[in-house]
Structure 1
Amino acid sequence: MTDSEGTKHGAVPDGTTVFDDGVPAVANLDPALLTALRQAAKAAADDGVEFVVNGGWRSPEYQARLLAGAISRYGSEREAARWVATPETSPHVSGNAVDIGPPAARTWLSRHGAAYGLCQIFRNEPWHYELRPEAIEHGCPPMYADPSQDPRMRR
């Protein structure tokens, strides 16, 4: 897959922000998630913090490549499932998840994200955020240890 093909399938060029509508990984996010991210990013910028998108929407093909790489790296499907979901279960494929960096942005989101409905879902992935609108009033739900513990991943 060439760089432009990769970007078309969800690879994220370095330095991509939540405002980069020309990048499919951002443009294809769920509109409510993207709105919340942009609101949070504007508030974070007032604190001198910039959000960088390291992962967002992904095509099923790209997600399958990431999973194959994880299986190779971790030695089994079971161990890879702690880090990478299948194309059928990944919230990235549906546009419902975003991976945010750098560490300062993640720290800002861990403190303020619930006010925007943005919650860290997995304890082992401090970069992975999803929209939970109920968090605005009730706070973020308890985190799963890793994706293999999330019932959504068991299809």
Structure 2
Amino acid sequence: MPYSESVVRRALGEAEGAVPIPVSVFDEEVPAVANLDPDLLAALRKAATAAAAEGVEFFVNGGWRSPEYQEQLRDAAVAKYGSAREAARWVTTAETSAHVAGQAVDLGPAEARAWLSEHGAEYGLCQIYRNEPWHYELRPEAVEHGCPPLYDDPTHDPRMQQ
């Protein structure tokens, strides 16, 4: 009897945006980094260079993702949290994901996030969701006006209401 795709699914790898181990923001070989929006990547690298001068290193834990990989993460979140509604607090659909668009990056370690909390707006890099301190997006207007207020989670972000 054949298995349906929902029962047996191959694990999606680096080519689809998986980051099995944290990588440098300067790693040109990893699609999760290389496929980020060029403006986001430039701001991220500029900030990482400044942070490194203070002894703080940035690592990418997640960046660009293929729609298939995003949906795999979404399915896993639904299984973990018990419903699509609860999963939506943590993982968006491929259609609404800033990661799929190459416009979001998940960063670590904690020291890098602390540095970005203090200095990120200078580079237009802003934390977007209160429940995801690792998730950063480019907001160029933040350079002059500071980062916008945080959404509690993606379910409160109007961009996710598609």
Deviating beyond 3 angstroms after TM superposition, the runs of 4 or more aligned structure 1 residues are none
Q: Tell me the residue number matched to 1:42.
A: 49
Q: Tell me the residue number matched to 1:18.
A: 25
Q: Tell me the residue number matched to 1:154.
A: 161
TM-score by length of 2: 0.93
TM-score by length of 1: 0.97
Cα distance between partner residues in 2 of 1:12 and 1:45: 22
Aligned length: 153
Q: Tell me the residue number matched to 1:65.
A: 72
Computed over aligned residues only, the root mean square deviation of the Cα atoms, in angstroms, reads: 0.8
1:1-155 matches, cutoff 5 A: 1=10, 6-155=13-162
Cα distance between partner residues in 2 of 1:150 and 1:111: 23
Shift of 1:28: 0.3
Cα distance between partner residues in 1 of 2:79 and 2:61: 21
Shift of 1:13: 3.4
Q: Percent identity?
A: 69
- Structure with higher helix content: 1
Shift of 1:14: 1.3
Structure 2: runs of 5+ lacking an equivalent: 1-9
Structure 1: runs of 5+ lacking an equivalent: none
Which structure has the larger Rg?
A: 2
